[in-house]
A and B are shown apart, each in its own frame.
Chain A
Amino acid sequence: MSFIDVVEQYEDFDVDGFLGQVTDRDVERALAKEKMEPMDFLALLSPTAAGHLEPMAQKARRLTVQYFGRTIQLFIPLYISNYCSNQCLYCGFNRTHAIERKTLTLEEIECEAQAIASTGMQHLLLLTGESLQATPMDYLEAAVRLLKRYFASVSIEIFPLDKADYRRLKTAGADGLTLYQETYDRSVYRQVHLAGRKADYRNRLDAPERGARAGFRAVNIGPLVGLGEKRHDVFMCGLHARYLDDRFLETEIGLSLPRINPAEGGYQPAHPADDRAFVQFLLALRLFMPRSALTVSTRERAGFRDRLIHLGVTRLSAGSCTGVGGYARPAERKTAQFEISDQRSVAQVAQAIAAQGYQPVYKDWDLIA
């Protein structure tokens, strides 16, 4: 069994036909349930459900406070390389783009770690482009070991690995894995991933499951909203989360809905989601997966992120820089993967969270080896 079986099952299902027939009563019935089935979730993604945002928000907030309290976990991304062997139409790291390429040395990573740690951040997300040549396993392993000296928790967002390599990084101290499928639509996936290992849809689709099998405590997934038909992608992402949650009791499944931001290459999303649709999707995910972490990155605007705190979000990145080496040397920020929208510092984001009546949590987890 693999999630590919679920993908194939729904390729024959008329999602649009279903969405078009959802009634107000269907939405209300879904909202009244304690545990939602896939069709309840799909009903909440329908245009009809857009007229029920307030009751959805009220229930989403109630469930989130019950399971997570009034707390928001903070994390910060660290890009250590932007070399990439792929040709993804929407990404600033696309190998055909004439950007300045860089892979940090371990010494440079340490400088970055020191700069980040001085902000109080304890949860770090380590990112690379997808290039096994530029960032081989030995290098990644050394980077994780080094960063564990500075941070309570190190997660990775890198190219898909096999189970043995995931286990190597877990043994080195990484405890979380983030991997976005980008789009669950296989035909769109082929169209936007022109070359490189990332063009292998199935390899990417099964990677979160391999990560869970390798023992990562947290696995975070999501679509890149805008690539494929957005309701389809959010629906499949929810099913993917439920699939993993049902099989790996020891793994915390998290979700995120990154929206496409301007990047080198000027890709224009075929299916953009406006704020209202984005909120609806976020709420539907929260109601379908009440105990899952929901992350919102600095791709979203500051004021909008503050409002999302009340709508089921449990994790925010803060003080982010998507350039390689940009924390210790702000001049390096020109190598960014995409433009960030919330430019506030860690302290400013923490302050904004507190102003919303929530507690910013710098340290929520510690892997004691």
Chain B
Amino acid sequence: MENDTLTIGGLEFTSRLFTGTGKFADDRRIADMLAASGSQLITVALRRIDLGGKSHNILDFIPKSVTLLPNTSGARTAAEAVRIARIAREAGCGPFIKIEVITDTKYLMPDNYETLAATETLAREGFVVLPYVLPDLPLAKRLEDAGAAAVMPLGAPIGSNRGLETAPLIALLIENCRVPVVVDAGIGRPSHAAAAMEMGADAVLVNTAIATAEYPVAMGRAFSLAVEAGRMAYLAKMAEESRTAQASSPLTGFLDPIEDIV
């Protein structure tokens, strides 16, 4: 458990809490949140970055030691996502890219088909691709084959804080994927994050729940502790669940020594 690191795109992460930059009341709080949460990877929407440099640049508030995960938020097709990814790389945001292709503004569901197409193209171009998807096992396997560096299934709709509504489907991904599974979207409480980690998720990405908390820095710390606890519980191999009570001191336990003698 001591050397429990997560490797994605050749980088090792000791923290399994990934964070986001959206919805903060003040971008200057992002650095404080990162410090408190220990998060080593943060996603940022390219559409929010002022490449012309006329207004303040959100990237100025992210320490160099933290890996940048630009996302393609705003893209509605694979082609748009690919273009955004290329611009992000040219703008110096590094090789990591979170594919986010969303066509509906009501539920903000990722379009799995366009996401797969974008992943195929960008993985070929050498990007470290992390696709945000609906948890669908056949799709996840195809993303793996396409060269995705991880898969990021949603727990519930973005920003909904509803937790792990898709847990049974995420469990299939965890059980069957060779690449890391990062639960993204919907996590509203530290207990949700802990539950995802207990299930065996490799990491979680949390934004709204931290950024819109009354005290985002404290909430970042709370999530950090929850992720750590959930991961440790997973590694410690939790006891099985049962529908009926299992006595800690079994009533027939006294028979065992006798059997030994016989």
Contact = CB atoms under 8 A, between A and B. Distances in A.
Contacts of B25: 69-71, 357-359
Q: Range of interface residues on chain A?
A: 20 to 34
Q: Range of interface residues on chain B?
A: 20 to 34
A105 B257 CA distance: 100
Interface string A241-272: 00001000111110000000000000000000
A69 B23 contact: yes
B104 interface: yes
Given A69-B211, A357-B25, A365 B104 contact: no
Nearest to B51: A366
A168 interface: no
A66 B106 contact: no
Contact of A69 (B22, B80, B106): B22
B105 interface: yes
A291 interface: yes
B55 A120 contact: yes
Interface in A65-88: 65-71
B92 to A, nearest CB: 17
A280 B27 CA distance: 31
A117 B54 contact: yes
B22, B25, B76, B87, most chain A CB atoms within 10 A? B25
Contact of A365 (B22, B74, B208): B74
A280 to B, nearest CB: 25
A278 interface: no
A328 interface: no
Interface string B13-47: 00000000011111100000000000000000011
Contacts of A249: 103-107
30 contacts: A66-B208, A67-B159, A68-B23, A69-B208, A69-B212, A70-B23, A70-B24, A70-B25, A70-B211, A71-B24, A117-B54, A120-B54, A152-B47, A249-B107, A251-B105, A291-B106, A354-B26, A357-B25, A358-B25, A359-B25, A361-B48, A362-B50, A362-B54, A363-B47, A363-B49, A366-B47, A368-B80, A368-B83, A368-B84, A368-B87
Given A69-B212, A251-B105, 15 more contacts: A69-B22, A69-B211, A70-B23, A70-B212, A71-B23, A71-B24, A120-B54, A122-B50, A358-B25, A359-B25, A359-B26, A359-B27, A362-B50, A363-B50, A368-B87
A-B complex: 7 closest residue pairs judged by Cβ atoms: A69-B23, A70-B25, A249-B104, A362-B55, A120-B55, A366-B47, A252-B105
